[in-house]
Structure 1
Amino acid sequence: MQWSKEVQVDEWVREKLKSMGLKLGKDFLEKDASAYLKDALKGASKTKKQTGTGIPDFVIEKYKVDNEIIPVIFECKLGIGKLEKYAKDNEKALDFSNDAISKYALNGALHYARVALQNESQKQDHYKEIIAIGIVGDNSQNVKVKIACVFADSSLAYKEIKHTNLDFLENAKSFTHFYKEECKLTEEDKHLILIRGKWHLSYHSAQLNKLMHNHNITAPQRVLYIAGMILSMQSVMSNEYRILTKGLSPADLQGSQEEGLRDGELVFERIEEFLKVKVPDSAKRKLMLDSFNEIRKDTDRDKIPKNFTYKEGEKKNPNHKIIAHILKEPSSINKQIFAYIYAHIYKEIDGLNGHLDIMGECYSEFLKYALGDGKELGIVLTPPYVTKMMTQILDITSTDRVMDLATGSAGFLISSMEQMIEDVYKNTAKHSTQANKAILELKTKQLLGIEYNAEMFALATSNMILRGDGSSKIYKANTFETEDSLYVSFAPTRILLNPPFTWDYNGLPFIEFGLDRMQKHGLGAIIIQDSAGNGQATPITQSILTKHTLKASIKMPIDLFQPMAGVQTSIYIFEAKIPHDFEKPVKFIDFRNDGYKRTKRSLQEVDKPAQRYKDILKIYKQGLNAKLDNSVYEKPINLNEVYVEDFISDSGADWNFDQHKKIDTTPTLQDFKKCVSEHLAWEVSNVLKNQNSMQGGLEGNALSPRLVKLEKDFKQNGGEWREFKITQLFDYERGTRLTKGHRIAGNIPLLTAGEFNQGVKEFISNEEQKIFSNAITIDMFCNSFVHIKPFCCDDNILVLTAKKQMNQYHLRFISTIIGKDKPKYGYGKQYRIGSLEKHYISLPVLPVLSLRGVGEAHNEAIHKTQQESKMDCHEVANATSRNDKSDYKIAFDYMESYIKALEAERLQELEAYLKVTGLNDYALSQKEKEALKAFENLSALNERERE
């Protein structure tokens, strides 16, 4: 029986739970929850204002893992299509708009879970994680279940589970097994969360950057605004997790012009109050407050703008259009910035609650965006996935003592801290007294940072505070002027560095200074410009080798720091206080292909970057014996190509991979085939483009005799050119989106935007993609091609199908004319449906009585051996030109003859070229065939030996 009401889905869930032995009112609740959970769900109603208490459809609060209750929250919806909804512009992230959480089951369940996890008043013993379940159905035979583990209140902090039934709820044992097997975050899960975070923050950081730029706030000030305002939003908590002072919210900023009550002053005062608790060192606190003073210094930023800058419906809104969706009433510049950070940045970062490295990664990504190209502050921040990789290469554990002598925004210290915390949890239960004590110890005593730049010092300290402190040993100082006693007492075992790229010898003195002050056998890693290791810093490299060992050199992607400072970099790994043994080899690894493509706008996944960052650790540890699953990659990893063990000299000028890569110069048959093919392709291309033509060919716009005659006949018969609207001649359709990760290899051409290879990107077999043929395509840049054979295309392609039959010659003629508009379009102005609907093209027309006379004779003369077109081309369309004369029609015969004439001339030129070069009838002798076969076998044998 088909269900007609949502309550029938509820009935199915209720009976399902009962069938597993769970009792209503005891083991699970319906439209109800414990007093504790009800309190946590205040403000969780799915109404627009979200002011009431939200109550899920079902709740289970009986199961514990490691003595922690893990609640299970259910949300049910009628209709199989109401299971989940993903964000419009990011298919990897669920949508948390009011519409989505109220209409879709999993979105609603996640919404309740997130609110329950953010209950600030119960932070000491509040829920750490919640299982959210969405259930939908049309009838008892067609029910779908989707499950997610939610570990913080951020919209980023969840893992979708592949498990699709409720059997794990049967008893405590099945629940614990499910939780430990399914809910544990793998590296791939963390990477997916990182991608969600990057998408979220890349969009909002761009908007916030624009907002602050429009309000004349400089780049150095912008990052201080972000850090300071986020600190002011934090509540000051007692050791008993009691709120001493609640963090600021947008409602607290009233736009007062009274001295002491201005918005900027309120923010600064709350920062000051927060830092009194978090930073006991008064000198350090003063340094930070001096930097954050920027927020209150300019009184004009606390004034309410009077000019109207945006209209929302009929009501004028004086705030900047970027913030108008949040603030409806006139607000100061400081409040506008504060409100945007609060809504779109702070809630996501604070919501992750230090639980994952993603918190530092997302925040650092935002700081990096705000810093522009890094030149204003003289720094370039290391990408978070690289800082994480470097901490893993150094195998940092909870007992290590880690330092960074050019701290920046503390990215290396954050990654180190997270890895140390993970190591704690390997041996102790999460959130246990023993684990909490170990984590407090490592945060306060095992992380050392030195930063000379005052603004970056404030950012680094804030960054660590926001992650549950770890800031107590971050100092503002010139590294080279610090006292040795600092390092003696700290006794570092690990050092991580990305030194200022403008420093002497590219910053290499920082690693020498640090290695000299480390414990013996300690490990260090520095990411630095290649030139430091190829002879541009020999005084330092030679000195390092007399005291320390270079263990490995990893060549990083050429575009790693794009769109920041464009430098080529390597990572050098050292062992401290063991002079280099030149009779022992060094590991050289090529990691230029890390699976990412970097543009000025974004970081794009192109070939399994998460897996590649796992495999680089295997390659570092296991070398040529590394066990890799190359089946997951589009471009597999050839260990012989990317890994070399070789000796270095005492010159200090041969530290880079390219200086040690072994190149086999023995030629193979494939090498020769490639060489010959490329040369012939170049020669033929030149012939067809009228360069080095054997016959002289067409020069510029000069017409050949054939075309001269055709043109003359056309004009003598009254021919002229008139404009026609494309949509009069063609039906049109837009292709469908197909992201790279969803493409299945096959033999159907897939067209995407691009001017090369007729627009063909690759070949696929996805059944859901519509197949076209005999059509003109136009991409977003107005590149136009003709495709006669079957093809499919993505959503940047418009497909034009003739309303009445046209052959390939007509299509090619028209496509050429369409492409004439290409200079008008680019990324700023793209060719879309609206462009097509306004697009006129010039076509040849003839008086009706002359139509059959022009072109037919040429067709017969040029293509005697070809099958003549059987259609009446001039009858194709009843299209009218802008200046319509009913006795004129489009001259399709002329169009066909014109293209055929050009094609025939090109073929004649190619035939002449082949004849002159002797390639038209060349055949291999039997001995030549035998010799070629022998060489091919030898080449194959050599290839196998190299592998």
Structure 2
Amino acid sequence: MAKNNMKQSVEPNIADLANGWMKSYKLNYKLEQESIGNSEIDKALDEYFSKNGGVGGNRPDAKILLQDKNCDYYPILIEYKGYKDKLVKLDKEGHVANKNSKNEPDFKNINSYAVNGAVHYANAILHYTNFTDIIAIGMTGFKNDSGKLEYSIGVYYVSKSNFGVGQKVDEYTDFSFLKKENFDAFIEKVKALSLSDEEKEKLKEKREQEIGASLVKLNNDIYQNEKGLGENDRVYLVAASIIATLGIPKKVSPLEKDDLKSSLEEGNRDGDIVLRKINAFLNEKQIPKDKKDLIVRTLANTLTTENINKVENGESQLKRVFSKIVDDLGIYYKTDLTTDFTGKLFNEMYSWLGFTQDKLNDVVLTPSYVATLLVKLARVNKDSFVWDFATGSAGLLVAAMNEMLDDAKKTLKSPEEINRKSAEIKAKQLLGLEILSNIYMLATLNMILMGDGSSNILNKDSLNDFDGKYGFGNTKDAFPADAFVLNPPYSAKGNGMIFVEKALSMMKKGYAAIIIQGSAGSGKAVEYNKKILEKNTLLASIKMPIDLFVGKSSVQTYVYVFQIGQKHQEDDTVKFIDFSNDGYTRTNRKKASVNLRDTDNAKGRYAELVDLVRFGKKKLNIFTEQEYYEGTIDPQKGDDWNQSAPVDTKPTLEDFKKNVADYLAWEVSNIIKNTAENDRLGK
């Protein structure tokens, strides 16, 4: 009989030891099959996909719900293993490796390693409950050659703030940090944890890829399996489901799947229930009545139709789709990923809408890093008043809002002052106009999700139906714009420069940064450009990478930066910058895990670009003198905005020496060749 070399698991011994500690600390811990005493957590563990990838049935080996001195609750999830080296599996960045290279769950790691399993359970709670801070504990061990039990413990903090990936708290040799007298100090240590900016950036990029994959899967699933839903219906169902499940702590409870009963009773159909929750949410958010009525009316057109509420096999189509949305997307909008999530969400949903290919190329959403660039070039700060005359799904306004909020946090020292300023920024310092009603809905939802800057997102034609005043609240007052950002539809007059001329004519001071088709600066918008320069100065003309909108559009774009309120003089210096190499490599492969890679110091290049526009040549470091050129334009021409550094054709002494050397080398070569030929012929 062959000898079995497989070592026996010591998991029962590990569990006995750890549970014995908790018993001695008088902790009310619960084992695998027991309820933790909170139905929300129990339900979350039951609904989240299991460690094997199936539906539900997540059972941590032990769990506790502990309260700190501030009466905040922390779920503690514990997973035991019984082999050496099975504590935790980390990826190359040092994070718990619960995703593979394709950003799919790595069930092998989740199953095999104690910490990985515990972090998996913690994400179930982040996804399906309002708990935002969870402690995941893994413990494993083995018996050494003397038969003595050796063990190791991993303690990780899993939260909204670290995107659910988890952070190691410290080294521990037992569970005494959970004792009542030690727990507050432990939580203080947890709160002191923070991710570096670089770590945050990498995690955001990784999570963006997951979001993209989830959204594509969701759209394909609804498209293939749910009949009778048009493009707008799919967009509105996602919008409605997210609003209904967001909730407001202590005021509006999030809608759960079980709240939808698939009843046919008038007023209690699933659509009616979702609408009531949306109404409660919008009322509590104090959304202006006109805007609220428009949102509810638009969503009601989809939510109250007979087909979507019809019950088959005990379930309405609405409940089925709602459940898919919550299951696929809940983890993203429940964690602290609003900007990245909404950027991906709205770009994906935008592509669901039924534009022709020409229209899609005409109205292309701005990548988030380009939106941030425009905002910085427009010198946006906490006191800016920013508007966008073709707001799309509000990506530029979201970038502006982030910049303003960041500036408030950096410059104000009182938390109360920061909160007051943040509310003011969201309510009064942003204004966007979008004429297409379905895109307007995306913009409004985007700003609601961002918490909430939707107050002055207006469903109006900025060229013909806007008088420069606030849309809600102080409707008699002019919006005092001093920063303008824009990515216009290029089919509009002057390739979209008509929007720039209109917006700048309504401003008295400040800066503007727009991204537009290059032909707007080389002849297609002469009349608009000349008008603009009568009252404004062109500060910079930036040639962007040709593949900036890869997969959507291949037109050459430029960014133009203006100072508002000062007529452009013939001798005014314009900074012409060739930003064709922005440091990023882009691909458009559907199966690629990453379609945007920083391959040549992209972050440094974007930062230097902003400095060059603001401070000039003294900031030249990464860029070459061929990429940065200071010149002038003729304000009466309007077609000379796309200049590049002149090529010096005057020969230098070095050129002369090289030419002489080349010529002499050629002569010598010929002499040698002729001599050899003569020798061969016997001459």
Matching residue of 2:340: 358
Cα separation, partners in 2 of 1:252 and 1:535, compared to 1, 3 Å: same
Going from structure 1 to structure 2, the CA distance change for 1:437 and 1:580 (only over 3 Å counts) comes to same
| 514 and 620 in structure 1: CA distance in 2 versus 1, 3 angstrom threshold | same
Q: 1:84 aligns with which of 68, 72, 89?
A: 89
C-alpha deviations, 1:747-766, integer Å up to 9, x for none? xxxxxxxxxxxxxxxxxxxx
- Relative distance call for 1:96 and 1:288 in structure 2 (3 A) is farther
Task: Please report how far the alpha carbon of residue 458 of structure 1 lies from its aligned counterpart in structure 2 after TM superposition.
Answer: 1.9
Amino acid at match of 2:321: I
Q: Which residue in the other structure is 2:389 paired with?
A: 405
Tell me which of 116, 119, 125 is aligned to 1:110: 119
**Equivalent position of 1:558 in the other structure:** 546
- Give the TM-score normalised by structure 2: 0.74
Could you tell me which amino acid in structure 1 is paired with residue 633 of structure 2? I
Aligned 8 A contact 1:92 1:196 in 2: no
* Displacement of 1:414: 1.6
CA 1:643–1:286 in 2, change beyond 3 Å: closer, same or farther?
Answer: same
**SS of the counterpart of 1:490?**
coil
Deviations along 1:770-822, whole A, 9 cap, x unmatched? xxxxxxxxxxxxxxxxxxxxxxxxxxxxxxxxxxxxxxxxxxxxxxxxxxxxx
Change (3 A) 1:262 1:161: closer
CA positional deviation for 1:303: 3.4
Q: How does 1:530-929 map to 2 (within 5 A)?
A: 530-594=518-582, 595-599=584-588, 601=590, 604-605=594-595, 607-608=597-598, 611-622=601-612, 639-650=624-635, 651-656=637-642, 659-663=643-647, 927=668
**Residue 44 of structure 2 contacts residue 128 of structure 2 at CA under 8 Å; is this kept in 1?**
no
Deviation at 1:151, TM superposition (A): 3.4
Q: In the aligned structure 1, how far is the partner of 2:600 from the partner of 2:251?
A: 40
Given that 1:548 and 1:577 are in contact with CA atoms closer than 8 Å, whether structure 2 keeps it comes out as: yes
Residues 157 and 352 of structure 1 are in contact (CA less than 8 Å); yes or no, is this contact kept in structure 2? yes
Q: CA deviation at 1:538?
A: 0.9
Displacement after TM superposition at 1:539 (Å) = 0.8
Contact 2:127 2:331 in 1 (8 A): no
Deviations 1:506-551 (A, max 9, x none): 211222222233352x122111111111111011111112211222
Look up the match of 2:229.
217
Deviations 1:256-309 (A, max 9, x none): 44544444444344434433443543322232233223314642343356xxxx
Q: What is the rounded CA distance, in whole Å, between the counterparts of 1:592 and 1:384 in structure 2?
A: 18
Which position in structure 2 is the counterpart of 1:157?
163
What is the DSSP-based 3-state SS (H/G/I as helix, E as strand, rest coil) of the residue aligned with 1:271? Answer: helix
Residues 1:160 and 1:428: Cα distance change in structure 2 (over 3 Å): farther
Partner of 1:750: none
Equivalent in the alignment of 2:506: 517
Q: Does 1:194 align with 2:200?
A: no
**Secondary structure of 2:534 counterpart:** helix
**Which amino acid in 2 is paired with 1:77?**
K
RMSD of the TM alignment (CA)? 4.7
User: How far does residue 457 in structure 1 lie from its aligned partner after superposition?
Assistant: 1.8
Of 350, 354, 357 in structure 2, the residue corresponding to residue 368 of structure 1 is 350
Q: CA deviation at 1:206?
A: 4.1
* C-alpha contact 2:573 2:630 (8 A) present in aligned 1: yes
- Amino acid across the alignment from 1:399: D
| Cα distance in 2 between the residues matched to 1:171 and 1:268 | 42
Following superposition, the deviation at residue 384 of structure 1 comes to 2.2
Give, as a single letter, the amino acid of the residue that structure 1 aligns with 2:634: S
1:290 aligns to 2:278 (yes or no): no
Choose from 410, 422, 431 the match for 2:406.
422
Q: How far does the alpha carbon of each residue in 1:467-491 deviate from its partner, in whole angstroms, 9 at most, with x for none?
A: 2221112222121332244496431
1:468 & 1:574 partners in 2: Cα distance? Answer: 30
What letter is aligned with 2:163?
A
| Aligned partners of 1:133 and 1:148 also within 8 Å | yes
Classify the secondary structure of the residue corresponding to 1:233: helix
Worse-superposed segment, 488-497 or 140-149: 140-149
Amino acid in the other structure paired with 1:391: V
Q: Report the residue type matching 2:105 in the other structure.
A: D
- Which of 442, 466, 472 aligns to 2:425? It is 442
Count matched residues. 612
Bigger relative contact order, structure 1 or 2, given CA contacts below 8 A and separation 6+?
Answer: 2
**Partner Cα distance (2:121, 2:412) in 1:** 30
Change (3 A) 1:372 1:618: farther
After TM superposition, list the pairs within 5 Å mapping 1:239-388 onto structure 2.
Answer: 241-244=249-252, 246-278=253-285, 280-296=287-303, 298-303=305-310, 331-345=315-329, 347-352=330-335, 356-371=338-353, 379-388=363-372
Deviation of 1:344 (Å): 0.6
**Closer/same/farther in 2, CA of residues 73 and 337 from structure 1, 3 Å limit:** closer
What percentage of aligned pairs have identical amino acids? 28
Cα deviation for residue 609 of structure 1 reads 6.1
Q: Could you tell me whether the CA contact under 8 Å between 1:188 and 1:610 is conserved in 2?
A: no
Q: Letter of the aligned partner of 2:258 in structure 1? A: A
Matches of 2:73 and 2:303, distance apart in 1: 45
| Kept after mapping to 2: 8 A contact 1:563/1:599 | yes
Amino acid in the other structure paired with 1:184? L
- The secondary structure found in structure 1 opposite 2:443 is helix
How has the CA–CA distance of structure 1 residues 341 and 173 changed in structure 2, closer, same or farther, with 3 Å as cutoff? closer
| Gap change, CA 1:118 and 1:607, over 3 Å in 2 | closer
Aligned to 1:894: none
C-alpha deviations, 1:68-97, integer Å up to 9, x for none?
A: 999987655344245238889842757386
Give 1:612 shift: 0.7
Give the letter for the 1:528 counterpart: I
Which string of whole-angstrom CA distances, capped at 9 and with x for unpartnered residues, describes residues 823-844 of structure 1? xxxxxxxxxxxxxxxxxxxxxx
Partners of 1:142 and 1:592 in 2: CA distance: 58
The residue that corresponds to 2:494 in the other structure is 505
1:130 Cα deviation from its structure 2 partner: 5.2
Distance in 2, Cα, partners of 1:231 & 1:171: 35
Residue 588 of structure 1 and its aligned partner are, at CA, apart by 2.8
What is the CA distance between 1:51 and its match in structure 2? 7.7
Counterpart residue number, 1:724: none
Cα displacement (A) at 1:579? 2.0
Tell me the CA shift for residue 3 of structure 1. Answer: 8.9
**What do the CA deviations read for 1:176-222 (whole angstroms, capped 9, x no partner)?**
79976x62341552343233223333343244245236624333333
CA distance change for structure 1 residues 130 and 89 in 2, over 3 Å: closer, same or farther? closer
Pick closer, same or farther for the CA change 1:639–1:465 going to 2, 3 Å: same
Q: Can you list the C-alpha shifts for 1:689-728, whole angstroms capped at 9, x where unaligned? A: xxxxxxxxxxxxxxxxxxxxxxxxxxxxxxxxxxxxxxxx
Q: Which has the larger radius of gyration?
A: 1
2:452 matched to 1:469? yes
CA distance, structure 2, for counterparts of residue 12 and residue 160 of structure 1: 25
1:85/1:94 contact within 8 Å kept: no
